[in-house]
């Protein structure tokens, strides 16, 4: 598969704009760039022997990989010069924006183009709902949020841009008028989750979100406070949820002496993902052919391109491109903060308004703090009721409020996921959780690693610790007693997919030296005057998947045995390319020589079509649409939410299975001279690969190269292109291949025979996951636990993490070193979140444009126990177990474990984050 | 405006007239297209922008480029990440970073490579005790921020390079 | 803002009462905006004439001067230890640097690697031809105005300077003067160097008395 060849899909949007989305084209001839960016082609592929990542060489040699590395002159066919743009933002959201005074930008500093709200309206651009309301604040209106752009300035020359940004950074050119106060907006979302279990574990639920649906408030009081429907057991879902929820709360309030009830509040702070590469993009609108080319570094390539298409779909002539060509680069960190941001929209506008000249728009770090997506600050009130005699949790009620900042973004979804994650690893027969995400004038909060569950499970695991202490139960024993078993029901009422391994994780924590020796260590170390020592534990579960996850993959084998993979996932440090290569290697015997990621376009032959919203679709609608063999509920989803291992590699694994079954296996049979009727011909699942050699009992081993050559010669299937969709379960379809039905967890397939082209095989039948599964909160999940030892310096109140142990289960780890890396990075981010990072929400916060590292503190090497953090990954239960996602779960337990350790050391229960020295000074 | 002449990775650059307000980071990335040196914060807090400066007296040190004007590097000799490999052969540190899966997104890697390289060269001239190795490494790298890895594998990689050549770097 | 609240004035000194009364009166009459202004400006020496007793007046003037000395622009380079502080909240300087033998940094990281001969505004980077840390004995991070006063007067700790030389240093030294022209993104010390010099002169004239404790 030639490096520079891209297959363009005719993804025609409803507006008629053609989308073509490709991995970034290399800047130089294949020889050079193959070495730098496609590791398989060079002399040394570190991944081939299982050492190193496939992008390793590129990253240590400073090769151009990130969107911020590219200028127009790096891209073939582009004009050589890059112009530069900047967004001017309002650092005020309580006064009327009166206009921009650019008097100080005269002469050489004058921008070539100034784009304002009026211009965006004039050209007929329409903001996609996710990014409501206004891309620019219009003069005469109060900005919707701190940092809202008021104008886009474009400079033909870098020097003019560089000088102008110095003039503009004090904010004085942005004029304000009278004070209006903040602009009120309705909340972004609110839901209530109520479940009442049946009388025995196996009995059907009395009531659950799965049965009844998700309840909504009937209105909002003061614009923000949800008002729930009056209780009626036989009413609609809103009324019945109120009925059951109120009964649960009444039970908790009843002062039953047999039940211990704790009622606690917990507040978390706003933080920044602080990925090291600020957001940026490059755009070029070529009026000769109406092509808008964009270079972007985002976690959601498909969404970025379709949002731009949506923005411009009804734009007037000269501003509606015929084609949008997206080129997607590696990203310098994501953590959720590069998933669904408005940056691509502004890059597109910059390109359109400076037609025929490539333009770069980017943030410096002050701007990234000002505009970049934040983690939601939560305020939570939780009540837990535990039977004193048995130590079993009887009931749990909580109310969550999230500050979503200025734009909706993912707030409603973060609220829901935070809510359904609020009972963590526990089995609780009566649960009532309400949540509301409100608008504010703060910086927009959206997806960030943990997605609401970091906040709610921190509150939970500290509450659990306090409860265990009140009952005088060992903290791990208390957790064991209440852990949800396999086939137990979640808050939504469904069971988890797969076994629940909480007991093993708890056992590992219990047995670890840090936990076992906690009393002895406390006694020993506290002999150092002025130091308090404490140990804390926490155990959590985090779902992966979004309820509408897609995987697009093509896997092929060449006659010389080279394997190549194309996939739509984005590399943000998670090692997805390496994971893909390893997963496919298990099926096809060799590590891929070429892994091209962020490919959303190279699946043209599948000719996929989608309609409707996969989250909101009615079952009848889905059934009707599914009759079209090319229809799928969603085409491509963002790289996020820990989905890399389980979701993103799934398609590649399925494609590889097709190639093996219908290409390599028949070729091997040929070479072994085994007739089709021979019983051994059906035993493809017994075959194993060892050192690129196919091994079957009592048959000579066959090298991959030989099998591949034969597969090509006999025109077997040498390449497969698949699409898969998961709504908490994979879609499953049957295809006619080589005269026999092939059923697999995919919903679209195209195959290549020998060296031919890919041709679609229509599915003969398909089952998409039922639409009611949208009611699941979580279905796929991984469990992770952490035990932590801290020292608290009494006079100053400084907390130091001195040792820690984390253990996780993730099915089969595709690249164990990368899983460990996630655990270590998650640990560092957890320490930062617990002890160091904090942003004010409003005028004193980053929306004012004055924040950077320095005042914002993230963990450095010296803040971490570099020699004393141990990570363990449990082996899979069975060798072939599919991989599960872990990138978020490995961050979460660290935070409550630290809080619990601080309590153990000082006797203080801290109910807010971060824990600062001021809180513990003089303890 | 100042006329700039300097050496980067052994190659002379200039004479080129640059504004006195131009940062070294912009000079490398915008003027020369050498984007291996990154921009992370613009406030010398993360050091993903750090390059190596080789002084005339034979010492070397790292320097941020985001807060320092290009003209401050006039007549200097600078090494960037693009110049660490020699004749297509990766340095011991580059290989170790790959072997150890030391980086994830890779954006901070150039800074860590440069700092570690300077550390090795410094230890070769003034070795330290084995017992002080861990603190020496952390002290050297502590100015560099990484958001993905937690620093663990960076430390292990540097440690292993030093231990593999212990007689050179340690007493 | 000063790093520490001044300790309670001892009430057994009768001459303190009028000062205290004046201060209390002033405090009850200030609005938040006025308080913020008071933090950024310096009261001129004339405004202390109301205090009749020269010693009390001198001490009060030094307390005013200490608004400058305890401001981050000064404390950051007069730290308690061997590492400078940075920005506005007293955090340790990043990248991690140390004073070294001469106060101009360690061999591996001299101050002048980043700090040029003048402020580099595009990088929000302070600069001065002699950018360096004050010697260890002149570190006063965390000290009260009274303690700083005693330190400033003590020849064993102030580099052997006479009172006249202290005045010259504060009133005319250009590195000291940087505190009032720190460049974009940094809050200047209160008042001006000239005003501070005038206050120091007034403090000395009335006996260079230290506020207690």
Give residue-wise pLDDT tens across range C169-194: 999 999 999 999 999 999 999 999 99
Count each helix (H run) and each strand (E run) in chain C, helices first.
8, 4
Helices A576-588, A649-659: inter-axial angle, 10-degree rounding:
20
Residue recorded with tokens 């009390």: C56
* Contacts A821 to B, Cβ<8 Å: 101, 104, 148-149, 152-153
* Contacts C127 to B, Cβ<8 Å: none
Q: Look at strands A219-221 and B2-8 and give their pairing.
A: unpaired
**Mean pLDDT, residues C22-47 taken together:** 75
Q: What is the model's pLDDT at position C8?
A: 34
Query: Closest by alpha carbon to A878, among A821, A816, A811?
Result: A811
Helix (H, G, I), strand (E, B) or coil at B33: coil
* Contacts A854 to C, Cβ<8 Å: 86-87, 91, 94
- The residue of B2, B50, B52, B61 whose CB has the most chain C CBs within 10 angstroms, and thus the best one to mutate to test that interface, is B61
pLDDT for residue A837 is more than 90: yes
Helix (H, G, I), strand (E, B) or coil at A330: strand
Beta bridge partners of A635: none
CA A348 centroid distance within chain: 24
- The residue of C83, C95, C109 whose CB has the most chain B CBs within 10 angstroms, and thus the best one to mutate to test that interface, is C95
Q: Is the dihedral of CA A473, A477, A481, A484 positive or negative?
A: positive
Beta-carbon separation of C120 and B68 below 8 A: yes
Beta-carbon separation of C122 and A170 below 8 A: no
pLDDT for residue A24 is more than 70: no
CA distance C140 to C195: 22
Judged by average pLDDT, the poorest of A125-134, A568-577, A890-899 is A568-577
* Contacts A859 to B, Cβ<8 Å: 150
CA distance A543 to A679: 42
Listed as own residue / partner, the contacts of A185-188 with beta carbons closer than 8 Å and 24 or more positions apart are A185/A144, A185/A439, A186/A220, A186/A223, A186/A439, A187/A220, A187/A223, A187/A224, A187/A226, A187/A404, A187/A436, A187/A437, A187/A438, A187/A439, A188/A404, A188/A408, A188/A411, A188/A412, A188/A415, A188/A437, A188/A438, A188/A439
Cβ contact A575:A51 at 8 Å: no
CB pairs under 8 A between A and B: 187
Q: For A582-612, how does the pLDDT look when each residue is reduced to its tens digit (9 = 90+)?
A: 889 989 998 888 887 777 667 889 999 999 8
Judged by average pLDDT, the poorest of A414-418, A574-578, A632-636, C49-53 is A574-578
Cβ contact C62:C145 at 8 Å: yes
Cβ neighbours around A456 below 10 Å, total: 30
Residue recorded with tokens 């729930």: A228
Which of B26, B90, B94 is facing A162, going by the closest CB pair? B26
User: By the CB < 8 Å criterion, does C89 face chain B?
Assistant: no
Alpha-carbon dihedral A127, A132, A134, A137, rounded to 10 degrees: -160
**Mean pLDDT, residues B87-106 taken together:** 94
pLDDT for residue C31 is more than 80: no
* Joined tokens for residue C139: 């570190």
Q: What is the model's pLDDT at position A16?
A: 64
Which other chains touch chain A, taking contact as 3+ CB pairs less than 8 Å apart?
A: B, C
CA C34 centroid distance within chain: 21
**DSSP of A468-494:** HHHTT--HHHHHHHHBPPTT-B-TTSP
Average pLDDT, chain A: 91
* Joined tokens for residue A35: 């070495």
Q: For A456-473, how does the pLDDT look when each residue is reduced to its tens digit (9 = 90+)?
A: 999 999 999 999 999 999
Residue A647: band (very low, low, confident or very high) from pLDDT cuts 50, 70, 90: confident
Q: What is the model's pLDDT at position A883?
A: 86
Q: What is the model's pLDDT at position A52?
A: 64
- DSSP class of residue A648 equals I
CA distance A655 to A661: 10
Q: For A403-415, how does the pLDDT look when each residue is reduced to its tens digit (9 = 90+)?
A: 999 999 999 999 9
CA distance A241 to A238: 5
**Mean pLDDT, residues A681-687 taken together:** 91
Which of C114, C121, C122 is facing B64, going by the closest CB pair? C114
Beta-carbon separation of A169 and C184 below 8 A: yes
Listed as own residue / partner, the contacts of A753-757 with beta carbons closer than 8 Å and 24 or more positions apart are A753/A715, A753/A716, A753/A717, A753/A718, A754/A711, A754/A712, A754/A713, A754/A714, A754/A715, A754/A716, A754/A718, A755/A559, A755/A712, A755/A718, A756/A715, A757/A605
CA distance B146 to B155: 12
Cβ neighbours around A29 below 10 Å, total: 11
Q: What is the model's pLDDT at position A10?
A: 35
Q: What is the model's pLDDT at position A774?
A: 87
Helix (H, G, I), strand (E, B) or coil at A668: helix
**DSSP of A351-388:** HHHTTTS-EEEE--HHHHHHHS-BBPEEEEEEEEEEET
Q: What is the model's pLDDT at position A23?
A: 55
**Mean pLDDT, residues C196-201 taken together:** 98
User: By the CB < 8 Å criterion, does C96 face chain B?
Assistant: yes
Q: Which residue of B has its CA nearest to C126?
A: B67
pLDDT for residue A751 is more than 70: yes
The upper half-sphere exposure of residue A204, i.e. CA atoms within 13 Å in the direction of its Cβ, equals 5
Listed in order, strand segments (DSSP E) in A496-548 are: 531-543
pLDDT for residue A18 is more than 80: no
Which of A56, A70, A861 is facing B98, going by the closest CB pair? A56
Residue A31: band (very low, low, confident or very high) from pLDDT cuts 50, 70, 90: very low
Percent of chain A predicted with pLDDT > 90: 79
Q: What is the model's pLDDT at position A803?
A: 98
Q: Please measure the distance between the N-terminal and C-terminal CA atoms of chain B and give it in whole angstroms.
A: 49
**DSSP of A669-680:** HHHHT--TTSGG
* Contacts B65 to C, Cβ<8 Å: none
Q: What is the model's pLDDT at position A544?
A: 81
* Contacts C121 to B, Cβ<8 Å: 21
Chain A nearest-CA distance from C122, in A, is 7
Percent of chain C predicted with pLDDT > 70: 86
**Mean pLDDT, residues A205-214 taken together:** 95
The upper half-sphere exposure of residue A24, i.e. CA atoms within 13 Å in the direction of its Cβ, equals 32
pLDDT for residue A873 is more than 90: yes
CB pairs under 8 A between B and C: 51
CA A263 centroid distance within chain: 32
CA distance C186 to C174: 17
CA distance A718 to A554: 11
* Contacts C91 to A, Cβ<8 Å: 854-855, 857
CA distance B138 to B161: 15
pLDDT for residue A501 is more than 60: yes
Q: What is the model's pLDDT at position A22?
A: 59
Q: Which range, A10-24, A367-381, A491-505, A598-612, is most confident?
A: A367-381
Which other chains touch chain C, taking contact as 3+ CB pairs less than 8 Å apart?
A: A, B
Alpha helices in A215-264 (DSSP H): 237-253
Query: Closest by alpha carbon to A448, among A331, A599, A275?
Result: A275
Q: For B59-77, how does the pLDDT look when each residue is reduced to its tens digit (9 = 90+)?
A: 999 999 999 999 999 999 9
Residue A14: band (very low, low, confident or very high) from pLDDT cuts 50, 70, 90: low
Instruction: Check residues C172 and A15 and name the one with the higher pLDDT.
Output: C172
* Contacts C124 to B, Cβ<8 Å: 43, 67
User: By the CB < 8 Å criterion, does A166 face chain C?
Assistant: yes
- DSSP class of residue A93 equals S
- DSSP class of residue A8 equals P
Helix (H) or strand (E) holding A143, with range, is none
Q: What is the model's pLDDT at position A223?
A: 85
Q: What is the model's pLDDT at position A569?
A: 80
pLDDT for residue A27 is more than 70: no
Predicted ipTM? 0.98
Q: Which residue of B has its CA nearest to C93?
A: B45
* Joined tokens for residue A497: 């997919």
Q: What is the model's pLDDT at position C212?
A: 87
Residue C33: band (very low, low, confident or very high) from pLDDT cuts 50, 70, 90: confident
Q: What is the model's pLDDT at position A575?
A: 78
Chain A nearest-CA distance from C93, in A, is 8
Residue recorded with tokens 């076992």: A516
Residue A42: band (very low, low, confident or very high) from pLDDT cuts 50, 70, 90: very low
Which of A169, A850, A854 is facing C94, going by the closest CB pair? A854
CB pairs under 8 A between A and C: 16
Q: Is the dihedral of CA A134, A140, A145, A150 positive or negative?
A: positive
Q: What is the model's pLDDT at position A46?
A: 47
Instruction: Check residues A708 and A881 and name the one with the higher pLDDT.
Output: A708
Residue A776: band (very low, low, confident or very high) from pLDDT cuts 50, 70, 90: confident
Cβ contact A351:A284 at 8 Å: yes
Q: Look at strands A717-726 and A549-557 and give their pairing.
A: antiparallel
* Joined tokens for residue A691: 């050192």
Cβ neighbours around A618 below 10 Å, total: 10
Cβ contact A241:A228 at 8 Å: yes
Helix (H) or strand (E) holding A645, with range, is none
- DSSP class of residue B30 equals I
CA distance B135 to A3: 45
pLDDT for residue A487 is more than 60: yes
Cβ neighbours around A867 below 10 Å, total: 11
């Amino acid at each position: 598969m030639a490096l520079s060849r891209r297959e363009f899909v005719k993804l025609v949007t409803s507006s008629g704009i053609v989308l073509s989305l490709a991995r970034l084209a290399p800047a130089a001839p294949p020889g050079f760039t193959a070495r730098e960016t496609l590791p398989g082609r060079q002399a040394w592929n570190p991944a081939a022997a299982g050492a190193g990542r496939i992008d390793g060489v590129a990253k240590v040699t400073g090769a151009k990989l990130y969107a911020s590395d590219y200028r127009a002159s790096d891209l073939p066919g582009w004009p050589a010069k890059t112009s530069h743009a900047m967004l001017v933002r309002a650092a005020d959201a309580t006064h009327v924006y009166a206009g921009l005074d650019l008097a100080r930008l005269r002469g050489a500093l004058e921008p070539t183009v100034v784009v304002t709200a009026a211009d965006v309206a004039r050209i007929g651009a329409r903001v996609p709902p996710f990014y409501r309301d206004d891309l620019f604040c219009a003069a005469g209106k109060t900005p919707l949020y701190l940092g809202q752009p008021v104008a886009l300035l474009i400079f033909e020359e870098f020097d003019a841009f560089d000088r102008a940004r110095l003039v503009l950074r004090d904010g004085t050119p942005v004029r304000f008028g009278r004070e209006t106060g903040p602009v009120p907006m309705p909340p972004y979302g609110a839901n209530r989750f109520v479940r009442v279990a049946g009388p025995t574990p196996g009995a059907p639920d009395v009531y659950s979100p799965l049965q009844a649906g998700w309840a909504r408030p009937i209105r909002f009081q003061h614009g923000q406070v949800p008002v729930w429907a009056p209780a009626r057991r036989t009413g609609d879902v809103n009324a019945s949820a109120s009925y059951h929820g109120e009964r649960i709360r009444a039970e908790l309030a009843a002062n039953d002496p047999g039940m211990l009830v704790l009622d606690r509040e917990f507040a978390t702070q706003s933080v920044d993902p602080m990925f090291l590469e600020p957001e940026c993009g490059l755009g070029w609108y070529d009026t000769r052919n109406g092509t808008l080319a964009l270079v972007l570094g985002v976690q959601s390539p498909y969404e970025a391109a379709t949002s731009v298409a949506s923005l411009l779909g009804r734009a007037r002539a000269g501003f509606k491109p015929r084609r949008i060509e997206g080129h997607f680069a590696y990203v310098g960190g994501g953590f959720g903060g590069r998933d669904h941001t408005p940056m691509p929209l502004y890059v597109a506008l910059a390109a359109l308004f400076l037609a025929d000249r490539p333009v770069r728009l980017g943030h410096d770090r002050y701007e990234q703090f000002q505009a970049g997506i934040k983690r939601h600050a939560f305020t939570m009130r939780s009540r837990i009721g535990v039977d004193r005699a048995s130590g079993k949790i009887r009931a749990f009620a909580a109310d969550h409020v999230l500050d979503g900042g200025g734009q909706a973004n993912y707030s409603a979804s973060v609220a829901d996921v935070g809510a359904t994650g609020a009972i963590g690893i526990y089995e609780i027969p009566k649960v009532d959780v309400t949540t509301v995400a409100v608008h504010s004038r703060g910086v927009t909060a959206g997806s960030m690693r943990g997605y609401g569950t970091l906040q709610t499970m921190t509150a939970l695991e500290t509450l659990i610790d306090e409860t265990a202490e009140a009952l005088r139960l060992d903290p791990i024993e208390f957790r064991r007693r209440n852990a949800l078993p396999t086939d137990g029901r979640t808050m939504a009422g469904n069971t988890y997919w797969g076994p629940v391994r909480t007991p093993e994780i708890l056992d590992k924590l219990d047995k670890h030296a840090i936990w076992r020796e906690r009393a002895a260590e406390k006694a020993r170390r506290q002999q150092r005057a002025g130091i308090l020592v404490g140990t804390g534990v926490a155990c959590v579960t985090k779902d992966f998947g979004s309820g509408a996850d897609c995987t697009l993959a093509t896997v092929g084998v060449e006659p010389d045995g080279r394997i190549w993979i194309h996939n739509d996932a984005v590399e943000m440090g998670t090692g997805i390319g390496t994971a893909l290569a390893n997963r496919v290697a298990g099926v096809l015997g060799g590590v891929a020589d070429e892994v091209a990621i962020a490919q959303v376009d190279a699946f043209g032959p599948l000719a996929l079509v989608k309609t409707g919203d996969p989250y909101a679709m009615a079952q009848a609608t889905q059934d009707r649409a599914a009759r079209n063999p090319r229809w799928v509920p969603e085409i491509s989803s963002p790289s996020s939410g820990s989905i890399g291992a389980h979701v993103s590699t799934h398609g590649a694994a399925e494609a590889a299975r097709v190639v093996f079954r219908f290409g390599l296996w028949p070729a091997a049979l040929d070479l072994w001279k085994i007739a089709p009727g021979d019983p051994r011909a059906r035993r493809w699942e017994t075959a194993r690969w060892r050192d690129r050699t196919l091994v079957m009992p009592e048959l000579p081993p066959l090298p991959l190269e030989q099998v591949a050559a034969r597969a090509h010669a006999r025109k077997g299937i040498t390449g497969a292109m698949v699409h898969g969709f998961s709504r908490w379960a994979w879609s499953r379809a049957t295809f006619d291949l080589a005269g026999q039905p092939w059923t697999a967890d995919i919903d679209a397939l195209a195959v290549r025979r020998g060296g031919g082209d890919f041709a679609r095989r229509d599915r003969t039948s398909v089952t998409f996951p039922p639409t009611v599964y949208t009611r699941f909160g979580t279905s796929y999940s991984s469990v992770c636990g952490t035990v932590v030892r801290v020292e608290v310096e009494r006079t100053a109140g400084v907390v130091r993490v001195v040792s820690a142990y984390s253990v996780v289960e993730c099915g089969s780890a595709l690249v164990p070193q990368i899983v460990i890396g996630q655990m270590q990075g998650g640990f560092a981010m957890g320490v930062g979140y617990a002890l160091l990072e904090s942003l004010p929400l409003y005028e004193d916060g980053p929306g004012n444009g004055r924040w950077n590292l320095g005042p914002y503190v993230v963990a450095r090497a010296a803040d971490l126990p570099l020699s004393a953090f141990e990570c363990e990954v449990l082996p899979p239960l069975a060798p072939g177990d599919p991989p599960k996602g872990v990138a978020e779960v490995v961050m979460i337990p660290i935070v409550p474990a630290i809080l619990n350790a601080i309590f153990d050391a000082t006797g203080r229960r801290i109910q807010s984050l971060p824990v600062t020295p001021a809180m513990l000074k003089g303890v | 405006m100042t006329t700039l002449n300097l050496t980067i990775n052994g190659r002379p650059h200039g004479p080129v007239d640059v504004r006195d307000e131009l940062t070294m980071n912009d000079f490398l990335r915008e003027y020369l297209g050498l984007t291996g040196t990154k921009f992370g914060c613009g406030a010398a807090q993360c050091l993903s922008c750090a390059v190596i400066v080789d002084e005339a007296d034979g010492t070397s040190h790292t320097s941020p480029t985001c807060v320092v004007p290009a003209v401050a590097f006039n007549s200097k000799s600078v090494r960037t990440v693009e110049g660490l490999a020699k004749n297509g052969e990766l340095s011991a540190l580059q290989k170790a970073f790959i072997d150890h899966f030391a980086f994830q997104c890779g954006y901070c890697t150039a800074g860590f490579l440069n700092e570690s390289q300077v550390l090795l060269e410094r230890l070769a001239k003034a070795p330290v005790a084995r017992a002080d190795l861990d603190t020496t490494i952390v002290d050297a790298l502590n100015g560099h921020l990484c958001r993905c890895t937690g620093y663990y594998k960076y430390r292990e990689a540097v440690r292993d390079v030093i231990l593999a050549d212990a007689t050179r770097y340690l007493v | 803002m000063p790093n520490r609240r001044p300790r309670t004035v001892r009430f057994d000194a009768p001459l303190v009462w009028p000062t205290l009364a004046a201060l209390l009166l002033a405090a009850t009459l200030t609005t938040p905006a006025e308080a913020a202004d008071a933090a950024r400006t310096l009261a001129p020496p004339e405004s202390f004439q109301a205090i009749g007793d020269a010693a009390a007046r001198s001490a009060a003037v030094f307390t005013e001067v200490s608004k400058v000395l305890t401001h981050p622009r000064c404390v950051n380079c007069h730290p308690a230890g061997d590492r400078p502080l940075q920005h506005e909240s007293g955090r340790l300087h990043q990248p991690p640097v140390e004073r070294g033998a001469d106060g101009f940094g360690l061999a591996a990281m001299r101050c002048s690697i980043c700090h040029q001969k003048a402020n580099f505004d595009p990088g929000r980077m302070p600069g001065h031809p002699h950018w360096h840390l004050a010697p260890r004995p002149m570190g006063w991070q965390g000290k009260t105005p009274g303690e700083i006063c005693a330190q400033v007067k003590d020849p064993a700790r102030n580099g052997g300077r006479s009172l006249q030389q202290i005045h010259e240093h504060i009133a005319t030294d250009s590195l000291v003067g940087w505190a009032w022209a720190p460049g974009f993104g940094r809050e200047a010390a209160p008042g001006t160097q000239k005003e501070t010099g005038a206050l120091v002169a007034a403090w000395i004239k009335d006996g260079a008395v230290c506020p207690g404790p």
